[in-house]
Structure 1
Amino acid sequence: MHRLFVALRPPPAIRDALADVMDGIAGARWQDDDQLHVTLRFIGAVDRPMAEDVAAALGAIQASAPTVAISGVGRFGQRGRTEALWAGIVPPEPLAALHRKVDQALVRVGLEPERRAYLPHVTLARIARGLQLEPEVEASLARHASLTSEPFAVHHLVLYESHLGRSGASYEPIARWPLD
């Protein structure tokens, strides 16, 4: 089985700027450069024939390269516990439109449609269950609330395979297609 997702990779200068804000929370599992991306659609575990269908469907997508910027930070969590920290992406509309195209292409090859609301972001850190880091999280969010970047274009749609391990996930780009 192949655990797949579709994403956009920010340019090196943007990834460097994000790396500069990834500190200040002991115990957080900060993303490394290879993990910094904007997910368009999580696919999950599929067999090889479906992975090949997914790649063919993604290769047929025609879309313009979106121009976006980093804006602010936030968190995902449940029951008052932070699970992940992220940097926001603005404007969301170009990525939401690309997300819809990707989702429609994947539904045509037999995958279920995405049910969650789409919020474009770059995950910066994950917080393990059982860690009580809310004071540090609050301080980090306040410290980096004004995080912004210059606008940047993202020129490729990338299909990644996620490999889960003891120290977290590693992401392997397995195909990419130009956006023009």
Structure 2
Amino acid sequence: MPHRLFIGIRPPAAVRQVLIDTMEALDGARWQDDEQLHLTLRFVGEVEREVANDLAAALASIAMPSFELALDGVSHFERKGSPTAIWAKVPPTAELLRLRTKIDRVCDLTGLGCETRRFTPHITIARLNRHTGSIADWLTRHADLRDSWQADAFSLFESHLLTSGAQYEIAARYPLQA
């Protein structure tokens, strides 16, 4: 049975609470649960157990110091002119990009190839659909969203797709050196 995986950073509880506090006053938004709040570094997709185990072992070879991350406002993704998600911006620091490069290299070495999509560091706050009301007021109200934290680990997550939405489970956690 395949495992649906991604690699990301989970913000601490205080930062997740700042994000949760924005989750209001937007009709039709599907707000993320606390357990779903993360910064994706690399989406892996569905892989067999052997590849998942190889990836988990290879990620343990990544050595890097911990580093600071920040929230810096909000934005949205859209498809065909309609918003599909709203998210908190995470500025792409040199350390974050270095970690992402190391992860991409490990994924390539384990046979998963290199990532070809543009990296836009963010934490998804809500999923939207065509029934969602206008997001302009929400974006304006939360434009000054700011916080920061020390990223002291990254994780390999397994995503379970349920009728109620995706449920994420940390399969392995990789500490960054203090």
Displacement of 1:71 after TM fit? 0.4
SS of the residue 1:90 aligns to: coil
1:75 aligns with 2:76: yes
Aligned Cα root-mean-square deviation (Å): 1.1
Identity over aligned residues, as a percent? 44
Question: Could you tell me which residue of structure 2 aligns to residue 114 of structure 1?
Answer: 115
| Alpha-carbon contact 2:92-2:121 (below 8 Å) kept | no
Pairs within 5 Å for 1:139-178: 139-149=137-147, 151-178=148-175
Aligned-pair distance for 1:92?
Answer: 3.2
When normalised by structure 2's length, the TM-score is 0.95
TM-score relative to the length of structure 1: 0.94
The C-alpha deviation readout for 1:73-103, integer Å capped at 9, x for no partner, is 0001111111111001125332122111100
C-alpha deviations, 1:55-81, integer Å up to 9, x for none? Answer: 011111111112011100000111111
C-alpha separation in 2, matches of 1:92 and 1:84: 23
The 5 A counterparts of 1:13-52 are 13-52=14-53
Q: Does structure 1 residue 99 correspond to structure 2 residue 97?
A: no
Mapped to 2, the partners of 1:77 and 1:92 lie a distance apart of 25
User: 1:142 is matched by which residue type in structure 2?
Assistant: T
Gap change, CA 1:13 and 1:132, over 3 Å in 2: closer
Where do 5+ consecutive residues of structure 2 fail to align?
none
Match of 2:90 in 1: 89
* d(CA) in 2 for partners of 1:138, 1:94: 32
Instruction: In structure 1, list runs of 5 or more residues that go unmatched.
Output: none
